[in-house]
Structure 1
Amino acid sequence: MIGFLAFFYQNVSSVNKTMNRVKKIIAILLLLAANAHAQFQQPWVIDARHIKVDTLLWDLTDLSKAPQSRWLDDSSAVRSLLYTSVDFEGKPTEVFAYYSNPDIIAGRPATNQKFPGLVLIHGGGGKAFREWVEKWANEGYAAIAMDLSGNGADGRKVEQPGPEQSAEIKFQNIEKGNLKNVWTYHAVASAILAHSLLLSFPEIDPLRTGVTGISWGGYLTCLVASLDSRFIAAAPVYGCGYYDESDVFKQNLHALSPAAKKRWMKFFDPSAYLPYSKPFMFFINGNKDKHYNVGPYIKTYELSKNKQICIIPDMPHSHKDGWEPVEIKTFFDGALNGNPRPFVATSAITSDKNQLTVLLKPVASKQVASAEFYYTNDVTSDNEHRAWNHIPATINEDTQTIVQPIPKEGYKYAFFYLKDADGVSGTTVFLKDGKMD
């Protein structure tokens, strides 16, 4: 492109003066093409212009640069390394991580193939999970999982550890005034730096990267995906925003001074950033999760413009249960790995004559093997102990719909849970406050 424009510019000089305007236009095009070429050659930089907050705590340009790193083990099927992160309490820090990709996990020489990449973020009480990286490498992904408690492979502190995952550092530290000494600041920065490190590896396709996290890692996924525009897809598991409405975490926030609580919600709650998220979001949770209850969960996913919801009935809460659902792989395979497999999907829900009608997307209607309607009117129990009912719903293949009479007692919350012949589930969003006419 640049060479062609230069050649054209040189030859147009012999044309009469009426071509001067054309020469100026071509000169501008040359400059634009050269700038575009230069930008293409630069490292992938986060574009933060879409994040419309009055004060952005993280330096996203700096976090876009690959951190210094060194291998601790560069020969195993799942390798380990240390990389530098942001300062904590005025001291430099380093983060331990595991890494692998399909070539490494198979024990073969590098094939020069470009792989989709995933950043894996553990939850409270977690660590860098070797088996999580191994799982995704075997599925065709390059994956990095870091420790966000300052620990290494053996559970001991690294030489320059970051903050621990204590409630004091997560919440009470904000009372001391320095926002950058709160755990969330450091954890978000470390996760974004892991992405920058991943993007520096030659085997990574920079146009096919995603992030997923479990519990507190799901909370971080909401933040990281909102801040880091380089991600294409994100799957927060359990975690959501509106921590001041959580059955569990609101206690920590209510213990803060009113000013500190307000600052925490402004700078560290995902609700402040999710409206600006760029990646395709896959929100997956249970209906009875202890830490991330239905009310704030609905408010959280409603902030995202580009999303899919998956509600697993009675889904247990743990790291293993959080990375186990086949729906997460189905999502990333479609979004990143060039292997789209349609979910059982719905396009609309209507309520008429005391009946709910779910309209299936055409590709999904033939896939539905079972459909159930879950609903609850329990408004006195906490989310973990809320009583739910469920009944079979009617699948109408001719009209590509699922129909269900509204229960006589109505419902406070409800959702449809669908499965295809392979056992992969798809769900509607949560429905609220349904009544009979």
Structure 2
Amino acid sequence: MWKIDNTPPRTYEAPGFSEPGVTGLFYDGPSWQGKPTRVFAWLGMPAQSTQASGGKVPGIVLVHGGGGSAFSRWVRLWNERGFAAIAMDTCGHTPDSGSRRRDHHALGGPPGWGVYEKSLEAPMEQWGYHAVEAILRGHSLLRAQPGVDEKCIGLTGISWGGVLTGIAAGHDPRFAFAMSVYGCGFLDRSPGLGLDKTDKPHAEKWMELWDPSRHLKDAKMPFFWINGTNDFAFTPEIWQESHRLLRARSGKKTLSFKLRMPHGHGAAGESPEELRLFAASHCFGEPPLARLKKQERQGRMIRAEFDTKVPLKTAELLFTKDDGIPWPQRNWQAQPVLLSGNLASSAIPLGTVACYLNVTDTRGCVVSSEIEFFEHGTR
């Protein structure tokens, strides 16, 4: 459905959209309802080049979540981290700018997000196609910027942007790494996005076309997943299943499943240090995050061994005994556990229905084991 084209899309000025340190612009999108479209984006470069290779800087493509738009502050954040960055709007909008209201502009493509009721229409007329196309074209545009290292450009998205990240990563092998914040696949089982309440023909077709579970198997780049135990939409079971789709094909993949991590843009989804370090380890040679090497459970004991270049400081067992209620409402508890070098281990409390191990390194970065589920709780 999508074809990768290294030729950058044509760009246009965006009068009235000006922010410090970044450039507002439009670029060509695919046609919609027989008419041309344009995508709004903020584009920014580091103020002082942080040399990754040959005097060039790495880059990152930023995909906003539901209710969001292209965020200039997000571009500047990654510029401060040493990355060229582009943040595009995936719903045909122009962004907030001061008191300016976010509007669907005259050449905008289909509005989002999800848009399940349109799933029986021609795929290339739907939001899912246009949103991913905006990402791929934005990537081509960023690669074409002078001074950008096209071999080290990553992709990250928040919430619905994480959903789109899962799709785009399966179709654009040019990305050096990908990072999904909250978003995952198997959305017909999500309690917070409404697909489970959509009529069967539309829901099934949407899953066939746009669910990341149909696309992640083809993602081969290193992948980082970060989420919270009580997320309203991306629950532990579907999040872990999405991660496991990458098992045979993706190189290095890393989980960070935080206790009650809040959901949103801003500090919650944009600022975790784990995101910066995962990207910097691939582009600047910084020590990578720890990564799960081996995990085993024997009876009521769980153990996880991690590969790490940075000493691990603490380990915790996170567990919930709540059963029969929606995942977002379950009470998760955390307790310190034995950490011996790179090996964390713990007894599992009686009555536990799900648990996993977290380790924290000396930089304060959290990495997780996979989640163990118990159908009737541990006995």
TM-score, scaled relative to structure 1: 0.78
- Measure, in 1, the Cα distance between the counterparts of 2:85 and 2:113: 26
Which residue of structure 2 lines up, in the alignment, with residue 333 of structure 1?
280
Which residue of structure 2 lines up, in the alignment, with residue 342 of structure 1?
288
Which residue of structure 1 lines up, in the alignment, with residue 195 of structure 2?
252
Which of 278, 291, 295 is the equivalent residue of 2:220? 278
8 A Cα contact 1:174 1:181, kept in partner: no
- Measure, in 2, the Cα distance between the counterparts of 1:71 and 1:107: 25
TM-superposed CA distance for 1:75, in Å, is: 9.5
Which of 372, 375, 382 is the equivalent residue of 2:316? 372
1:311 is aligned to 2:253: no
Which of 94, 112, 117 is the equivalent residue of 1:172? 117
The change in CA–CA distance for 1:344 and 1:246 in structure 2 (over 3 A counts) is: same
- Measure, in 2, the Cα distance between the counterparts of 1:93 and 1:235: 28
Which of 301, 305, 322 is the equivalent residue of 2:269? 322
The change in CA–CA distance for 1:75 and 1:220 in structure 2 (over 3 A counts) is: closer
Please tell me the residue identity of whatever aligns with 2:304.
V
- Measure, in 1, the Cα distance between the counterparts of 2:264 and 2:65: 9
1:414 is aligned to 2:355: yes
- RMSD of the alignment, in Å? 2.3
Residues 349-358 or 264-273, more deviating: 349-358
- Measure, in 2, the Cα distance between the counterparts of 1:178 and 1:97: 26
- Measure, in 1, the Cα distance between the counterparts of 2:374 and 2:69: 40
- Measure, in 1, the Cα distance between the counterparts of 2:329 and 2:18: 47
Which residue of structure 2 lines up, in the alignment, with residue 430 of structure 1?
371
TM-superposed CA distance for 1:66, in Å, is: 1.4
- Measure, in 2, the Cα distance between the counterparts of 1:342 and 1:136: 18
Map residues 199-214 of structure 1 onto 2, 5 A cutoff: 199-214=143-158
3-state SS of paired residue (1:227): coil
3-state SS of paired residue (2:60): strand
Residues 146-175 of structure 1, C-alpha deviations (whole Å, 9 max, x = no match):
1122222442333311122256xx111123
TM-superposed CA distance for 1:106, in Å, is: 4.7
Please tell me the residue identity of whatever aligns with 2:236.
V
Which of 68, 73, 78 is the equivalent residue of 1:131? 73
Residues 303-350 of structure 1, C-alpha deviations (whole Å, 9 max, x = no match):
013221111111000011111110000100012x22222323431122
Determine which structure has the larger helix proportion and give its number. 1
The change in CA–CA distance for 1:362 and 1:101 in structure 2 (over 3 A counts) is: closer
Which residue of structure 2 lines up, in the alignment, with residue 119 of structure 1?
61
- Measure, in 2, the Cα distance between the counterparts of 1:341 and 1:146: 30
1:93 is aligned to 2:37: yes
Which residue of structure 2 lines up, in the alignment, with residue 20 of structure 1?
none
8 A Cα contact 1:118 1:211, kept in partner: yes
TM-superposed CA distance for 1:128, in Å, is: 0.5
TM-superposed CA distance for 1:96, in Å, is: 0.7
TM-score, scaled relative to structure 2: 0.90
- Measure, in 1, the Cα distance between the counterparts of 2:104 and 2:349: 55
TM-superposed CA distance for 1:368, in Å, is: 1.7
1:161 is aligned to 2:108: yes
TM-superposed CA distance for 1:253, in Å, is: 4.9
Q: Return structure 1 stretches of 4+ with deviation > 4 angstroms.
A: 73-76, 434-437
Count of matched residue pairs: 364
The change in CA–CA distance for 1:242 and 1:362 in structure 2 (over 3 A counts) is: closer
Residues 73-82 or 138-147, more deviating: 73-82
1:359 is aligned to 2:302: no
Residues 189-198 or 304-313, more deviating: 304-313
Paired-residue identity, %: 29
8 A Cα contact 1:212 1:218, kept in partner: yes
3-state SS of paired residue (1:143): strand
8 A Cα contact 1:77 1:107, kept in partner: no
Structure 1: gaps spanning 5 or more residues: 1-56
Which of 326, 340, 355 is the equivalent residue of 1:382? 326
1:182 is aligned to 2:126: yes
Which residue of structure 2 lines up, in the alignment, with residue 294 of structure 1?
236
- Measure, in 2, the Cα distance between the counterparts of 1:241 and 1:152: 28
3-state SS of paired residue (2:82): coil
- Measure, in 2, the Cα distance between the counterparts of 1:345 and 1:68: 40
Map residues 382-401 of structure 1 onto 2, 5 A cutoff: 382-397=326-341, 400-401=342-343
TM-superposed CA distance for 1:362, in Å, is: 6.1
8 A Cα contact 2:187 2:195, kept in partner: no
3-state SS of paired residue (2:139): helix
3-state SS of paired residue (2:374): strand
